[in-house]
Amino acid sequence: MAEFTMELSDEQKEVRDWLHGFAADVIRPAAAEWDEREETPWPVIQEAAKVGIYSLDFYAQQYFDATGLGIPMAMEELFWGDAGIALSIVGTGLAAVGVLANGTEEQIGTWIPQMYGDANDVKVAAFCSSEPDAGSDVASMRTRAVYDEAKDEWVLNGTKTWATNGGIANVHVVVAVVDPEIGSKGHASFIVPPGTPGLSQGQKFKKHGIRASHTAEVVLDNVRVPGSCLLGGKEKLDQRLARAREKAKKGGERLKNAAMATFEASRPAVGAMAVGTARAAYEVALEYAQTREQFGRPIIDNQGVAFQLADMATSVDAARLLVWRASWMAVNGKPFNAAEGSMSKLFASETAKKVTAQAVQILGGNGYTREYPVERMHRDSAIYTIFEGTSEIQRLVIARTLSGMPIR
């Protein structure tokens, strides 16, 4: 087990500086254009693939960093560049992690390479979980998967929403209900291969922020996938369902708490994204306050501006500390007895909204225009308090964890 430390190793610093250089030289110059176009930035993803950032190997190296700091460090630097483009680059990782966590070795070897493609022909993947009536309430999921034993096929029907890369992905990973009687434990994940009949893109959302990231509905109409596309295989699923049914009889609330704990481990990564956006806005505001003059002096000489910047810097650092602590705990198997994962995501996401708003205020009228990036950063920041569990859900999880109440 790695000791918790705030000091990055030389290797980690090299990776951080490399990512920062890519964010500064490639992502940030393209940010305004792709935000306006509201399209997937394929050329930027291709550049990321060429240098090795858009690849499973890079993601895995950071994920298995024993200190736990690889992923949050990478997310912070990429999202410092631009949230929309960064999400287009890392969005495939959501589907890849789903396969890595639940798939067999054969499934991992078969499908993950098809998610990324290569530098000459990049592909993306989509992880499809949320539904129109099942966002925070995952137990209300309605997409069904029914096994056709005669053909050894699963038949999927339903509609997914808020799917990053939904409909344009080469490979879709779809979460569906196989046993509605045991809530979220009755869910399973399926690979939908490229070109499978019945899968189509529904509404593409025109969003307030992260507009370079493709977000859409995915419609599943009698989608048939081979039995081999059930992640983990049917034998493993049957065993898991049997255990879950037995546990449900003995104590349903413990079952729900265990499900919530799974979500808890992934939240620090979203917190790191928020830290990156907040830090970017703070840096723009600081530079502006040092160079913008009013009444014959830089506006940072005014206490009202200086104090705001002091609070912004403090909040960004505090958010990073919470994210790094939770990330270290997750990698090293430390239990989140105080919902530390939710704490990090809650504080970092709220910090991003507040700091980007303060940056707009410091830039004044200029901050309200698209000539300066803080306007875009402010729009982008709103997503952090919504996806991967809203701030209200985070507070609910924290409060009930601290009080010992059941998490429902």
Phi, psi of 406 (to 5 degrees): -65, 140
Q: How far is CA 51 from CA 12, 84, 119, 273, in A?
A: 17, 20, 9, 21
CA triple 191-384-254, angle to 5 deg: 65
14 is catalytic: no
Helix, strand, coil share of the chain (percent; to 5)? 60, 15, 25
Contacts (Cβ under 8 Å, ≥6 apart) of 305: 289, 299, 362
Classify residue 397 by burial, with Cβ atoms within 10 Å: 0-12, 13-18, 19+. buried
- Crossing angle of helices 10-22 and 42-51, rounded to 10°: 150
**Cα–Cα distance for residue pair 406/176, rounded to 1 Å:** 25
Q: Cα separation of 176 and 184, whole Å?
A: 10
Bridge partners, 131 (sequence order): 134
The Cα–Cα gap between 191 and 54 comes to 21
For residue 176, the cross-strand partners are 188
CA distance 136 to 114: 30
DSSP 25: I
Cα separation of 152 and 381, whole Å?
Answer: 45
Pairing of strands 117-118, 171-177: unpaired
Residue 314: CA atoms inside 13 Å, Cβ hemisphere, count? 6
Query: Which letter does DSSP use for residue 212 in this model?
Result: T
Question: What span, in angstroms and rounded, lies between the C-alpha atoms of 70 and 325?
Answer: 13
Q: Are 75 and 21 in contact (CB under 8 A)?
A: no
Number of helices followed by number of strands (H, E) in the chain: 14, 11
Active-site residue, selected from the candidate residues 39, 264, 388, 392: 388
Give which of 37, 40, 24 is closest to 81, Cα–Cα.
24
d(CA 208, CA 231): 34
- Residues assigned a catalytic role: 388
